[in-house]
Chains A and B, each alone.
Chain A
Amino acid sequence: GQNIDQPTEMTATEGAIVQINCTYQTSGFNGLFWYQQHAGEAPTFLSYNVLDGLEEKGRFSSFLSRSKGYSYLLLKELQMKDSASYLCAAGDSNYQLIWGAGTKLIIKP
């Protein structure tokens, strides 16, 4: 079957670092996406990984291990505006995205 698992909720402190994990199982694999979604808004693209390793983009980095079916999103120097849900999505053999339920990240001052 196809499945995405990620934690429901995480809490972190402003200025700190947080890592959001995601495990996936898909029929075929065409990359791993991370999206950010603020409450009441549409998802916006953060990152894409198709090869193993770490992709860094400013304060955000994303890691992929295809052999383990595992990815994480690393957020550094957390800001209050980073409070949002973070959605992990895996591309399958039909170029559709299999979505996780999202991780709600709460940032405390």
Chain B
Amino acid sequence: EAEVAQSPRYKITEKSQAVAFWCDPISGHATLYWYRQILGQGPELLVQFQDESVVDDSQLPKDRFSAERLKGVDSTLKIQPAELGDSAMYLCASSPGLAETSSYNEQFFGPGTRLTVL
């Protein structure tokens, strides 16, 4: 069964260090999402890609966060420098597309990366 892959699963870093997360969506899925989820809250969208283009990064703290999906397949999310408040679960999800012909746009999630900033 096709799955979204993410690595690493867990990351512990010190504040002011740089961290990077990787995501490989389900093959053929055009849309890729990066979310941040704090314990007890719902996922917060950081960035949405359609193929290699950014569709929405309005909630991405661009002074320290960056995201890319150069070939429209896998994606990397980077934080530099990390801050204590960045401790959270970082989730990657993919979906078949923007669904111009259908309103059904289920998102499939990877296992997530649990980031702890000390």
A interface residues, Cβ below 8 angstroms from B: 4, 30-31, 33, 40-45, 48, 50, 87, 89, 91, 94-97, 99-102
Residues on the B chain within 8 Å of A102, using CB: 40-42
Question: Are B109 and A50 closer than 8 Å at their CB atoms?
Answer: no
Residues on the A chain within 8 Å of B112, using CB: 41-42
How far is A45 from B110 in the complex, measured between Cα atoms in Å?
12
B97: nearest chain-A partner, CB-CB: A95
Q: Known contacts A87-B42, A99-B42, A99-B43; is A43 also within 8 Å of B109 by CB? A: yes
A29: nearest chain-B partner, CB-CB: B103
* Cross-chain pairs A/B with CB under 8 angstroms, 24 sampled: A31-B103, A31-B104, A33-B106, A40-B114, A41-B112, A42-B91, A42-B109, A42-B111, A42-B112, A43-B43, A43-B109, A44-B109, A50-B104, A87-B42, A94-B55, A95-B31, A95-B103, A96-B45, A96-B48, A96-B56, A99-B43, A100-B42, A101-B40, A101-B42
8 A Cβ contacts from B53-88 to A: 55-56
B99: nearest chain-A partner, CB-CB: A95
Question: Are A41 and B104 closer than 8 Å at their CB atoms?
Answer: no
Q: Known contacts A43-B43, A96-B45, A99-B42; is A30 also within 8 Å of B114 by CB? A: no
Chain B interface size band reads 20 to 34
How far is A85 from B44 in the complex, measured between Cα atoms in Å?
16
How far is A109 from B109 in the complex, measured between Cα atoms in Å?
30
B105: nearest chain-A partner, CB-CB: A95
How far is A41 from B40 in the complex, measured between Cα atoms in Å?
13
Q: How many Å from the CB of A58 to the closest CB on chain B?
A: 18
Is residue B18 within 8 Å, beta carbon to beta carbon, of the partner chain? no
How far is A42 from B101 in the complex, measured between Cα atoms in Å?
28
Residues on the A chain within 8 Å of B44, using CB: 99
Most buried by B among A33, A87, A96, A101: A96
Question: Are B40 and A42 closer than 8 Å at their CB atoms?
Answer: no
> 9 tightest CB-CB pairs across the interface, nearest first?
A99-B42, A42-B109, A30-B103, A101-B42, A42-B112, A95-B105, A101-B41, A99-B43, A31-B103
